[in-house]
């Protein structure tokens, strides 16, 4: 019935092609999984051909990588998630590894074992910052989050370094002063005011007590009154304002405002001195450019003079002039033999040219002797 439909041979060919495609995809998948087991010995199979886990220690913690392979793997890249929660440039907020270059550019010819091995090596060489609970409750408006609890920032590519104040380039000391003995007041002009020491954030730490003093002694009726009274907000604010920690916060805020105001006034007073310094710097810069142009001209003149009186160049030039004198004497002799000049003029010209040739030849030989 091949006139009304496809033959049985074509159907069998299609089924064999589909089977071969499935077999080829499965073969690539199995090859990637075998590479994973070869490269990472601690891999655990959670679900056959789909989910795998790898655990490894980092400092005092144990990181677990969950490897999920989709149905289109290895055409699609594997999805790798990490636990527990930590901060690292390679991991996003959902704890998915997105910073690995091998995962970004994964293709069927990649090696899954090398991909996971790269992620493990990265976490070991550059340990992440784990989210540790804070022992003391802090006031975020006054005392900011410490740098140890902030996520790392990646610089470029695979290499990155966590931020630290030691990595910030420090200003170079003055050329004629010692860096260890230089103070800010020595750099400022004599008539400028002294700098103000601003308190650091480490000076403002506040511990909020778990139980507010004076509140635990209140009876249930008094607490109920605070809740039901219309003026409870005023009463609570008055009660909170009497706390020692709040008083300390207000005093420190007032102190910081005064310091910042003094620093702002100091900056305004320093502006004329900076303008004078800036104008002097511009003048010195123009003077430097003029000196540089003069230096370049003199340097070119020096090079030309050195080339003119260089022994090697002088020897080459003398050698050339010697050959020219020899050639001119030969031309004069040929001219005489052709009877184009008389004997008196020939002798005068020929003797002068041969004398010049021998003088130059002797000088070239003497220079050659001194060179050796």
Helix residue ranges, H only, the chain: 8-39, 101-104, 112-125, 184-187, 220-228, 232-241, 244-308, 311-337, 343-371
Dig out the tokens for 192 from the structure: 């400028």
Integer angstrom CA distances of residue 164 from 148, 153, 234, 244: 10, 11, 45, 34
Give me the pLDDT at residue 147, please: 37
Give me the pLDDT at residue 67, please: 94
Distance CA 34, CA 114 (A): 12
Integer angstrom CA distances of residue 153 from 61, 88, 120, 144, 194: 21, 8, 19, 18, 36
Q: Alpha-carbon torsion 270, 272, 276, 278, what sign?
A: positive
Element (H, E) at 143: none
Give me the pLDDT at residue 91, please: 93
What is the pLDDT tens value at each position of the chain, 372 positions in all?
A: 334 444 444 444 555 454 444 577 788 889 999 999 998 988 999 988 899 999 999 988 899 999 999 988 888 899 999 988 899 999 998 899 999 999 988 988 889 999 999 999 999 999 998 865 433 333 333 333 443 344 444 333 333 344 333 333 444 443 433 444 444 444 444 455 555 555 555 566 776 666 666 666 777 777 777 667 666 666 667 767 777 778 888 888 888 999 999 999 999 999 999 999 999 999 999 999 999 999 999 999 998 888 777 878 888 888 899 999 999 999 999 999 988 888 899 999 999 999 999 999 998 888 887 765
Distance CA 1, CA 15 (A): 20
Predicted model pTM? 0.34
Contact 82, 127 (CB under 8 A): no
The answer, yes or no, to whether the previous bond of 84 is cis (omega within 30 of 0) is: yes
Contact 152, 131 (CB under 8 A): no
Distance CA 319, CA 315 (A): 6
Q: How far apart are the first and last CA of the chain?
A: 105
Distance CA 110, CA 121 (A): 18
Q: What is the 3-state secondary structure (H, E, C) of 300-327?
A: HHHHHHHHHCCHHHHHHHHHHHHHHHHH
Look at residue 89 and give its three-state secondary structure: coil
């Amino acid at each position: 019935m091949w006139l009304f439909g496809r033959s049985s041979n074509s159907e069998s060919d299609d089924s064999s092609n589909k089977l071969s495609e499935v077999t080829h995809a499965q073969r690539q998948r199995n090859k990637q999984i075998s590479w994973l087991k070869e490269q990472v010995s601690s891999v655990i199979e959670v679900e056959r051909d789909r989910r795998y886990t790898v655990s490894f220690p980092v400092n005092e913690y144990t990181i677990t990588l969950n490897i999920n392979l989709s149905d289109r793997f290895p055409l699609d890249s594997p999805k790798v998630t990490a636990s527990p929660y930590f901060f690292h440039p390679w991991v996003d907020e959902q704890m998915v590894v997105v910073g690995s270059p091998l995962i970004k550019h994964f293709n069927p010819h990649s090696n899954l074992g090398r991909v996971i091995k790269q992620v493990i090596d990265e976490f070991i060489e550059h340990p992440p910052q784990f989210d540790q609970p804070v022992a003391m409750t802090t006031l975020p408006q006054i005392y900011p989050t410490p740098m140890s609890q902030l996520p790392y920032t990646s610089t470029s590519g695979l290499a990155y370094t966590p931020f630290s104040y030691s990595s910030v380039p420090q200003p170079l000391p003055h050329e004629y002063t010692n860096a260890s003995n230089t103070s800010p007041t020595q750099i400022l002009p004599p008539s400028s005011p002294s700098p103000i020491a601003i308190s650091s954030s480490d000076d403002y730490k506040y511990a909020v007590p778990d139980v507010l003093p004076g509140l635990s002694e209140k009876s249930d009726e008094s607490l109920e009154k605070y809740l039901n009274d219309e003026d409870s907000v005023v009463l609570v604010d008055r009660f909170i304002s009497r706390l020692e920690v709040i008083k300390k916060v207000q005093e420190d805020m007032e102190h910081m405002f005064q310091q910042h105001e003094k620093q702002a006034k100091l900056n305004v007073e320093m502006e004329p001195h900076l303008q004078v310094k800036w104008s002097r710097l511009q003048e010195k810069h123009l003077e430097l450019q003029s000196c540089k142009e003069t230096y370049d001209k003199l340097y070119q003149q020096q090079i030309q003079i050195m080339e003119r009186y260089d022994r090697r160049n002088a020897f080459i030039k003398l050698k050339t002039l010697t050959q020219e004198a020899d050639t001119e004497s030969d031309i004069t002799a040929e001219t005489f033999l052709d009877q184009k000049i008389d004997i008196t003029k020939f002798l005068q010209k020929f003797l002068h040219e041969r004398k010049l040739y021998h003088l130059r030849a002797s000088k070239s030989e003497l220079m050659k002797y001194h060179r050796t």
